[in-house]
């Protein structure tokens, strides 16, 4: 005779498995939208592409021998 799986799991575990699972991306995006609503005007969130562009610009500005005002602002 094979025991019933729900009896083996226990009552709490059986209810935990019955709840719907959330997609981690959905949870992340909902938390991000809350942060965006609460952020101050002097802060901003960068995309990965924008961040990479900024870091490349800073690296180029550091490497340049004769810097102009644009390079000094990036540093």
Is 3 strand, coil or helix? coil
CB distance 71 to 64 below 8 Å: yes
How many Å apart are CA 52 and CA 71, to the nearest integer? 16
Instruction: Please give the pLDDT value at position 58.
Output: 87
Q: What pTM, to 2 d.p., does this model score?
A: 0.45
18-39 per-residue burial string, b: 16 or more CB within 10 A, e: under 16: eeeeeeeeeeeeeeeeeeeeee
Residue-wise pLDDT tens digits, 7-55: 555 555 555 555 566 788 889 889 988 888 888 877 777 888 999 998 9
d(CA 13, CA 4): 13
């Amino acid at each position: 005779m094979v025991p019933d799986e729900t009896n083996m799991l226990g009552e709490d575990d059986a209810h935990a498995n019955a709840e719907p699972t959330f997609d981690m991306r959905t949870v992340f995006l909902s938390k991000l939208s809350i942060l965006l609503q609460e952020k101050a005007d002097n802060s901003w969130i960068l995309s990965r592409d924008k961040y990479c562009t900024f870091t490349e610009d800073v690296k180029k500005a550091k490497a340049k021998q004769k810097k102009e005002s644009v390079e000094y602002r990036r540093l």
